[in-house]
Chain A
Amino acid sequence: MSAEATTIEARVSTDRALMVDRIRHLAETLGIIAIAGALVLAFGLTSSHFLDSANVRNIFVQISVVGVAAIGETLVMLAGGLDLSVGSVVLLSEVICADLTATHHLPLSVALIAALAAAGGIGALNGVLVAVVGIEPILATLGTLLVAAGLAKLILGLRYLQVDHPIFTDLAVTNVLFNLPIMVAVMLGLYLVVAFTMRATPFGRAVYAIGGNRRAARLSGLSLVGITMGVYVIAGVLAGVAGFLNVAQIGLVSQNDGMGMEFQAIIAALVGGLSVTSGGVGRVERTLLGALMVGMMTNYQTIKGIDPPFQQAFLGGLLLAAVVADRALRGRQ
């Protein structure tokens, strides 16, 4: 047996490997688009109102808040972490923003900056606890969930704060894109920016690298602390932005805002195909698709008159289906 024969053999098996790899990758991408398309088709055929332009607008408006929060959650999960504090940070941002404008009559810009700073601050705290101190993400962010919710409720007390600044009304009402309001455009814009960042910047690559293999990322000279801090801060800031959008949509700030939103964000990411078995696999833009699928299901069930609690039960089922699909596509390790 000569070295030549060995090389030829190796090349044959490599070619086969490359082909299998390509097919699997294609199946992953097409799979989720096919499922989303099937949902649209099925819902459209069985409900005469589902594809109305007003209803489509509704779906987009309904998912915009969670959609924005889910961007940050996706980044954190891609880097191999988890952020349970998202919902609380949404509330904190809303409360600061509403309190400064409504109670203290400060200009909106000041309120926005303060709210984003607080949201980013909680994110930074998460980053320190996870990357520097070394607490498990699920526990660290549970702690900050309590801290952020506590702070927000401390400021809010038992009040309901009304926010009727024209900019907020504009966000929710004025149409810019087809018949979609500004807040939807904001969400889509953020997805574009972050998706680009993840694909085309060193930071994006580093997030994937850290999520994919922490040891290798360290030995490759990436800054684990810096990147981890980065994703948590971004997640915090985006949760803050989600808070603004929520205020714009509802016009009112109350104690229960944002509650459980971290789970909705996690579900959107998972339904969008983010892998939990192997970190560092997933795409931000697919999370949007996940959020849309969740939004469509909720909307459809509402049209069909299904009680919200049972809608939630179906959502649990959808999540399970996404996890099973992930396993089926990627196979058993």
Chain B
Amino acid sequence: MTSVRSRLLAKSYIDTWFLLIMTGALLVAFRIVQPSWLNGQTVQNLVIQNTPLALVAMAMTFAIISRHIDLSPGSMVALSGGVIGLVYTSQGSLPLAIVAGLGTALGAGLLNGFLVAGLGLNAVMVTLAAYIWARGLAVGANAGNPIDVGSGLGNVVNASWGGFTLTAPVVVVAYLLGWLLLARTKMGRYTYAMGGDPIAARRAGIDTALYTTAIFLLMGTMIGVSAIITVGQLGSAQATAGLGLELDAIIAVVIGGTRLSGGEGNVGRTALGVVFLSILNGGLLNLGLTDSYFQLYRGLALLAVLSVQIVVRRATDEEERRKREQEQLSAALAAE
């Protein structure tokens, strides 16, 4: 019993405890301000609204653990959606349009992966460029106007079972898949290895180019699915789809306790981060704030959480270090 307890209270869980407490505090705060807000309906809405965030954040976890990052998902969701719209308009075939949209997202992932892994370029800059060119193409696709895709896709995506649409199981499946990939497969191991020490990973004979590309392809897949869902939910492809999605996803991963320096983290923590961010965004929106207060409070809340997180982490790191040193010393003295 004590071992379970001490393990739960161990340092690796401090981040998680911290996040749970923050999430709880947030819920209580919103509950007090808006007693009617939190109910079954809210949960359903949050899931529906935050599906792209959840999916992209899952893949972003891989990117960040491997010491890379991807700034392009928001623009790519819009571009892939635009392709779905264009193909549907010109060919009239929904399946073909969906395949084309997925293909666009995967193709972009492949391109980013090639530039980062193949040419060895910096991921921030490569994906920043993609963030810009993809949004340009997405807006240019139909002069910034929505492209209607009829109701076929919407009927599937928005169909509701017990209040939850298809998106809820998609998110659950994606996270299960992500967890399996990260914790149980070679790709997962190598993701940690590359993030922990890229040179050591290469020396161990890992084909780092291949696995880096795989990470960007995973992101491409999540982007493709997000694009299909977004287009389906709205019934049209919007040039402004996914604005700010990449930064939200990064925040969700970081708030979940994964460090930008790479080498550690998991999708479970990211899931918690997504929940926290969804509640924050949803709760603030529900207060009926103007855009100005919404941004202001959101910014302050994020800065506060990130600051407290760092302070907590520093304290635990320091304690951990002291404990380890003490152990080493006693071991050395015992060996005498």
- Among the stretches A33-41, A143-151, A238-246, the one at the interface with B is A143-151
Whether a CB of chain A sits under 8 angstroms from the CB of B33 is: no
Whether a CB of chain A sits under 8 angstroms from the CB of B254 is: yes
B41 to chain A, nearest CB (A): 27
- Give every chain B residue within 8 A of A144 (Cβ-Cβ): 299, 303
Give residues of chain A (122-154) contacting chain B, Cβ–Cβ below 8 Å. 129, 133-136, 138-140, 142-154
CB within 8 A of A312: which of B125, B133, B303, B310? Answer: B133
Which residue of A has the minimal Cβ distance to B247? A142
Whether a CB of chain B sits under 8 angstroms from the CB of A311 is: yes
In whole angstroms, how far apart are the Cα atoms of A153 and B135 in the complex?
25
Whether a CB of chain A sits under 8 angstroms from the CB of B168 is: no
CB within 8 A of B119: which of A263, A266, A311, A324? Answer: A324
B306 in contact with A309 (CB, 8 Å): no
- Give every chain A residue within 8 A of B130 (Cβ-Cβ): 316
B125 in contact with A319 (CB, 8 Å): yes
- Give every chain A residue within 8 A of B136 (Cβ-Cβ): 309-316
CB within 8 A of B126: which of A156, A312, A315, A320? Answer: A320
A139 in contact with B250 (CB, 8 Å): yes
Whether a CB of chain A sits under 8 angstroms from the CB of B183 is: no
B250 in contact with A332 (CB, 8 Å): no
B302 in contact with A153 (CB, 8 Å): no
Q: Chain A 71-103, CB within 8 Å of chain B: the 1/0 string?
A: 000000000000000000000000000000000
Whether a CB of chain A sits under 8 angstroms from the CB of B335 is: no
Give residues of chain A (237-277) contacting chain B, Cβ–Cβ below 8 Å. 263, 266-267, 270, 276-277
Which residue of A has the minimal Cβ distance to B307? A133
A143 in contact with B135 (CB, 8 Å): no
Whether a CB of chain B sits under 8 angstroms from the CB of A49 is: no
- Give every chain A residue within 8 A of B294 (Cβ-Cβ): 150
In whole angstroms, how far apart are the Cα atoms of A319 and B131 in the complex?
11
- Give every chain A residue within 8 A of B131 (Cβ-Cβ): 263, 316
In whole angstroms, how far apart are the Cα atoms of A152 and B303 in the complex?
18
Whether a CB of chain A sits under 8 angstroms from the CB of B1 is: no
Whether a CB of chain A sits under 8 angstroms from the CB of B39 is: no
Q: Chain B 133-164, CB within 8 Å of chain A: the 1/0 string?
A: 11111111001100000000000000000000
B129 in contact with A320 (CB, 8 Å): yes
Q: Give the bracket for the number of chain A residues in contact with chain B.
A: 35 or more
Which of B131, B254, B297, B306 gathers most chain A CB within 10 Å?
B306
In whole angstroms, how far apart are the Cα atoms of A121 and B287 in the complex?
29
A153 in contact with B292 (CB, 8 Å): yes
Q: List 21 A-B contacts (CB under 8 A).
A: A135-B306, A136-B254, A142-B251, A143-B303, A147-B299, A150-B294, A150-B295, A150-B296, A154-B293, A157-B292, A277-B122, A314-B133, A314-B136, A319-B125, A319-B132, A320-B126, A320-B133, A323-B129, A324-B119, A324-B121, A332-B120
Which residue of A has the minimal Cβ distance to B310? A134
B251 in contact with A139 (CB, 8 Å): yes
A323 in contact with B125 (CB, 8 Å): yes
CB within 8 A of B143: which of A307, A315, A320, A324? Answer: A307
Q: Give the bracket for the number of chain B residues in contact with chain A.
A: 35 or more
CB within 8 A of A153: which of B119, B128, B295, B314? Answer: B295
Whether a CB of chain A sits under 8 angstroms from the CB of B124 is: yes
Give residues of chain A (284-328) contacting chain B, Cβ–Cβ below 8 Å. 307, 309-317, 319-320, 323-324, 327
Given contacts A135-B310, A146-B296, contact A309 B137 (CB under 8 A): yes
In whole angstroms, how far apart are the Cα atoms of A279 and B125 in the complex?
14
- Give every chain A residue within 8 A of B128 (Cβ-Cβ): 263, 266, 319
The interface residues of chain A, by DSSP majority, are classed as: helix
Sample of 4 further A-B pairs with CB below 8 A, known A129-B303, A317-B133: A153-B291, A312-B140, A320-B115, A327-B121
Whether a CB of chain A sits under 8 angstroms from the CB of B2 is: no
A146 in contact with B295 (CB, 8 Å): yes
- Give every chain A residue within 8 A of B137 (Cβ-Cβ): 309-310, 313
In whole angstroms, how far apart are the Cα atoms of A314 and B292 in the complex?
32
B281 to chain A, nearest CB (A): 12
The tally of CB-CB contacts under 8 A between chains A and B is 140
B125 to chain A, nearest CB (A): 4
Query: Shortest 5 CB-CB distances between A and B: which pairs?
Result: A316-B133, A150-B296, A146-B299, A312-B136, A313-B136
B299 in contact with A315 (CB, 8 Å): no
In whole angstroms, how far apart are the Cα atoms of A314 and B303 in the complex?
34
- Give every chain B residue within 8 A of A147 (Cβ-Cβ): 295-296, 299-300, 303
Whether a CB of chain A sits under 8 angstroms from the CB of B11 is: no
Which residue of A has the minimal Cβ distance to B294? A150
B125 in contact with A270 (CB, 8 Å): yes
- Give every chain B residue within 8 A of A323 (Cβ-Cβ): 121-122, 125-126, 129
Whether a CB of chain A sits under 8 angstroms from the CB of B3 is: no
B293 in contact with A150 (CB, 8 Å): yes
Give residues of chain B (98-127) contacting chain A, Cβ–Cβ below 8 Å. 115, 119-122, 124-126
A276 in contact with B144 (CB, 8 Å): no
A138 in contact with B250 (CB, 8 Å): yes
Given contacts A146-B296, A146-B298, A317-B129, contact A129 B120 (CB under 8 A): no
Give residues of chain B (294-321) contacting chain A, Cβ–Cβ below 8 Å. 294-300, 302-303, 306-307, 310-311, 314
Which residue of A has the minimal Cβ distance to B239? A309
Whether a CB of chain A sits under 8 angstroms from the CB of B290 is: yes
- Give every chain B residue within 8 A of A313 (Cβ-Cβ): 132-134, 136-137, 140
Which residue of A has the minimal Cβ distance to B142? A309
B309 to chain A, nearest CB (A): 9
A309 in contact with B139 (CB, 8 Å): yes
Which residue of A has the minimal Cβ distance to B296? A150
B121 in contact with A143 (CB, 8 Å): no
B165 to chain A, nearest CB (A): 29
Whether a CB of chain A sits under 8 angstroms from the CB of B63 is: no
- Give every chain A residue within 8 A of B293 (Cβ-Cβ): 150, 154
In whole angstroms, how far apart are the Cα atoms of A310 and B82 in the complex?
14
